[in-house]
Amino acid sequence: MEFYQDLFDYIQKSPTPFHAVAESARRLRDAGFTELNEAECWNLQAGGKYFVTRNQSSVIAFVMPQKAGAGWRMSAAHSDSPGFKVKGASQKAGFTMLDTEGYGGMIRSSWMDRPLGIAGRVMVKTAQGVESRLVDLKDTKAVIPHLAIHLNRNVNDGHTYDMKKDMQAVFAGKEKNACYQEKVAHAAGCSVSDILSEDMQLYCPEQGQVIGGEQEFVLCPRLDDLACGWAALMGFLQAKPSQQGRIWCLFDNEEVGSGTRQGACSSFLPDVLARAAKELGEDAQQQRMSLANSLLLSADNGHAIHPNFAEMSDGGYPVRVGEGIVLKFNASQKYTTNAVTAALFHTVCDAVQVPVQEYYNRPDLPGGSTLGNLLAAQVSIPMADIGLPQLAMHSCVEMAGVQDIAYLCKACSAWYDAEIDCKADGSYRVTL
């Protein structure tokens, strides 16, 4: 349980992408990584361990290669989850309400009638200028209450949850906007008048737990995609020294398309690679050699077969909770896995006895996408899309398998430890 409790602790300390990056940064510092600032010059050493954040909601950590042109072993996950942005407070029918705006494609009904935390970052005016402070109103909860069934007899007959009508949150039982701002200011350690702006969100504060008749399932908020981010980080931190460089990425805004300064479509990873190459003294040819000898895992969860809706999965390729991690394929290239990267990932997993399940969407249903194919447009390297099989994706609380989490950690560790060298286009030497 200590092993899974670490995942639960990581997610509990990560109510927002800002907090997820802060918790990841803490773990990186504890492991001896040096924090860099994008706005300053970098002085990097071969074999050195570094990390850099962008917008406080994305982070890239890396171990420098030992020599020019050696290449990189990478993984990428995302820090954000579907939820609600808090725009501010207002009065309605004797209540103080939190005005919300939806973020990403959440299952709306799952957010209702439960205590919801409020967290984010606050920009504060100080004597030195402007300072960002992370806040979590831990002892203050909001709620989005359903209308009673007596007043909506058709609620169980396919009710449409309107974002403006149904999904606004009750904060206090009195008409006092200042109450909300006072709570935020107290958490930020400043006065209300010193708050310049804020990025606040509602989140599910439920603690992760192991459930099931044989304790085989995990029930936890934000498994998509913090479970992958956590597992990849564990593998990255435990990796053995290598001639190649190692990179771990956690990007924000995947749930809304990644097209932001801190998303997978941004210049963040290319910028880090370019600055690392310069510090290694790589010329243009060596930089391209390095990329050609690099590999990346795009880690984001996949859909397991649902016992109540088995027909929604491709019957020929069922993915089951508890039977191994997911390797995702898509003919339209929404997932980046191809025969080459699949073979490499299978080889690594076979060596450490990690079962792999191949996932395909049902042919007549459009599937989701993730950050891999978007990242590939920025950094042209071979990739594979993997993840945990899970149920209730994008619900307020999601479900996965205990054993699969162990498999994912083991696979990520093996991925970073394996020596994989490109010998020709499509041919690799793998040493485990």
pLDDT one-digit tens code per residue, 309-366: 999 998 888 999 999 999 999 998 899 999 999 999 999 999 999 999 999 988 888 7
- What is the DSSP pairing of strand 72-78 with strand 58-63? unpaired
Between CA 120 and CA 100 the distance in angstroms is 14
Residue 48 has pLDDT above 80, yes or no: yes
Helices assigned H by DSSP within 252-294: 268-280, 284-292
Fold entry, domain 2-81+221-431:
Aminopeptidase (3.40.630)
- Considering only CA atoms, give the Rg of the chain: 22
Whole-model pTM: value is 0.96
- CA neighbours closer than 13 Å in the CB half-sphere of residue 375: 34
* Look-up of token digits 């007596």: 150
Between CA 355 and CA 192 the distance in angstroms is 54
pLDDT in tens, 218-272: 999 999 999 999 999 999 999 998 999 999 999 999 999 999 999 999 999 999 9
Between CA 245 and CA 394 the distance in angstroms is 34
**What residues contact 2, with CB distance under 8 A and at least 6 apart?**
none
pLDDT in tens, 283-314: 999 999 999 999 999 999 999 999 999 999 98
Question: What's residue 339's pLDDT?
Answer: 97
DSSP code per residue over 145-190: PPPPTTT-TTTTTT----TTTT-PEEEESSS-HHHHHHHHHHHHTS
Q: In which residue ranges of the chain is CATH 2.30.250.10 found?
A: 83-203
- In Å, how far are 210, 361, 395 from 327, measured between CA atoms? 24, 12, 22
Question: What's residue 142's pLDDT?
Answer: 96
- What is the DSSP pairing of strand 302-303 with strand 389-391? parallel
Q: How many CB atoms lie within 10 A of CB 311?
A: 9
As to burial, measured by CB atoms within 10 angstroms (0-12 exposed, 13-18 middle, 19+ buried), residue 121 is buried
Residue 369 has pLDDT above 90, yes or no: no
User: What's the CATH number for 83-203?
Assistant: 2.30.250.10
Residue 63's pLDDT band, with cuts at 50, 70 and 90, is: very high
Q: Which region, left, alpha or beta, applies to residue 344 given φ > 0 means left and ψ of -120 to 50 means alpha?
A: alpha
Residue 1's pLDDT band, with cuts at 50, 70 and 90, is: low
Q: In which residue ranges of the chain is CATH 3.40.630.10 found?
A: 2-81+221-431
> Between vectors from CA 422 to CA 33 and to CA 267, what angle results, nearest 5°?
50
> Per-residue pLDDT averaged across 194-213, rounded?
97
What residue type is 118 in one-letter code? I
Between CA 242 and CA 366 the distance in angstroms is 40
